[in-house]
Amino acid sequence: MTCTVTGNVSDIQLQPMAGVTVTFTPTAPHVLANETGVSLPEPVRVTTDAGGAFTVGLFAGSYAVAFRTASHRHDATIVVPAAATAGFRDTLTDPLPPTPDAAQQAVLDARAARDAAEQYAQDALENAENATVNWTSTNW
């Protein structure tokens, strides 16, 4: 069973932040039993809407959460309950994780670069497919 987690992202002046990518990565990935078999938890990405809101379905357990804007990354850790719904603020662990050392930061930066490259590749593929469809439809 998944838990629907809802939250809002705002800046320091409490203004909603649209377009923030929020990535939830299981901290102890393992096979989970579900209603029909097993599930393999993978990172889940959502993007905040115009009002800074997001909704995501997650299995119960611990997650590292990365908030990415065009210029910054902010991290948190959450524990998702075995419940139907939860507010993001209620899932935050306390205290927040310490600032990573240089080696940990290098790993985080590499992961962030990988995630960005995957997103750029997906965008490029979609643009190429759209260009092919547009070229085909205008040249027949």
pLDDT by 10s per residue, the chain, length 140 = 789 999 999 988 889 999 999 999 998 766 777 778 877 778 999 999 999 999 999 988 899 999 999 888 899 999 999 999 999 988 998 655 566 677 777 888 888 889 889 998 888 888 877 776 555 555 55
Residues 45 and 113 in one domain: no
Q: What 3-state class would DSSP assign to 131?
A: helix
Q: Quote the DSSP letter at residue 99.
A: P
Cα 31–chain centre separation: 20
Residues 75 and 113 grouped into a single domain: no
Give residue 78's pLDDT.
94
Looking at the structure, tell me whether residues 105 and 65 fall in a common domain: no
Same domain, 78 and 106: no
Structure tokens at 35: 């209603």
pTM summary value: 0.61
Say yes or no: 24 and 78 in one domain.
yes
Spatial separation of the C-alpha atoms in residues 67 and 88, rounded to whole Å: 13
Distances (CA, A) of 139 to 34, 126, 127, 129: 49, 20, 18, 15
pLDDT at 136: 56
